[in-house]
Every structure is written in structure tokens, then in C-alpha cells.
Amino acid sequence: MGKITKKDKKELIEVSNLFNTYVNENREKIDESLVSLRLMKEVDDFLCLNNINQRDFARDLEYSEAYISQLMSGTKKFNASFINKLEKLYNIIIEFNIKYKNTKSKRYKISKITEHKEGLEIDKFEIEHTKDFIMCAESVQFISSNNYQKLI
């Protein structure tokens, strides 16, 4: 490869400036497309895991194959009506999690189960958390002070 000339550098700077201008002027549309792409990937994974092709998917949801193709290619964006129909038809829940960008985040779900054993109430808490895409579960049991007095 030859040496980069001043003219080449100038052209590179102009192209870079044009690109940056385009991105800045279209930031909202670009960000919306990225959000839609994340959802599209989840739907695509769902279809793959359940061996559902786009033709059957379109038929099941009562949309045209062309519309589903446009959604899956990113030409059209997912909307709440589509998500609602998808959830109801396949008995699923599409979850949205708010995470801070550029940080490792953990997500927790705490469930409380009260068990009755030998006249005692035992509160059992199950803590599920995700860390680095691995689901972990821990269980903790508590006996209330009233029940503790019964044990003594």
C-alpha cells in the first residue's frame, strides 16, 4: 500500500465529518432501530427455539407474511399491539429490564413463601438473581420471634 497523501487525509476527514453529521442528524431514528433490533433478536430466538417459521408465525398472529418479514428485517418497528398479541397467543411474557449502560448489573427477584409446619409459620425467601447471564437461586428461612418463643 502506498503512502497516504494530504489529499487522501482531506478526503478521509470529509467522509468522517459527513458520517458524523448523518449520525447526529438521525440519532433518534438510529436509537429507535437499535431498540427494535433487540426485540427482533428475542422474537427470532423464540421462533428458533420453538421451531416456528415466519409463515406459520404470520398465520398464527393473523398478520401478512410481508408484514412479519418487514418486522424481522427492521423495516417496520414492533409496537405494543403486536407485543400484546404475541404474548397472548403464545402465553408468554416479554420482559423489559432497565439497566444502566456500561455497568455490570444484577437483577433480583425475591419470592416469599410461608410454610406451616407443626403449628409454626416459617417464612421462606427465595432470592433469584442474574449475574453475568447466569441464573442463581438461594433460599433463606426465617422463623418469627413469636414462633421462636413456641420452640423454647
Q: Is residue 96 part of a domain?
A: no
Whether residues 73 and 11 fall in one domain: yes
Q: Is residue 35 part of a domain?
A: yes
pLDDT (0 to 100) of residue 57: 95
Q: Is residue 95 part of a domain?
A: no
Whether residues 20 and 68 fall in one domain: yes
pLDDT (0 to 100) of residue 120: 66
Q: Is residue 97 part of a domain?
A: no
Q: Is residue 1 part of a domain?
A: no
CB 151 within 8 A of CB 120: yes
Last residue of a domain, one of 47, 65, 90: 90
Whether residues 22 and 47 fall in one domain: yes
Task: Give the range of the structural domain holding residue 112, as residue numbers without chain letter.
Answer: 107-151
Burial class of 152 by CB neighbour count within 10 A (0 to 12, 13 to 18, 19+): exposed
What's the grid cell of residue 116? 406451616
Cα 77 from Cα 63, distance rounded (Å): 14
Whether residues 142 and 71 fall in one domain: no
CB 78 within 8 A of CB 36: yes
CB 47 within 8 A of CB 53: yes
Cα 12 from Cα 77, distance rounded (Å): 34
| Residues forming beta bridges with residue 141, ordered by sequence position | 124
Radius of gyration of the chain from its Cα atoms, rounded to whole angstroms: 26
Q: Is residue 99 part of a domain?
A: no
Q: Which amino acid is at 15?
A: V
Ranges in the chain, pLDDT < 70: 1, 97-100, 102-152
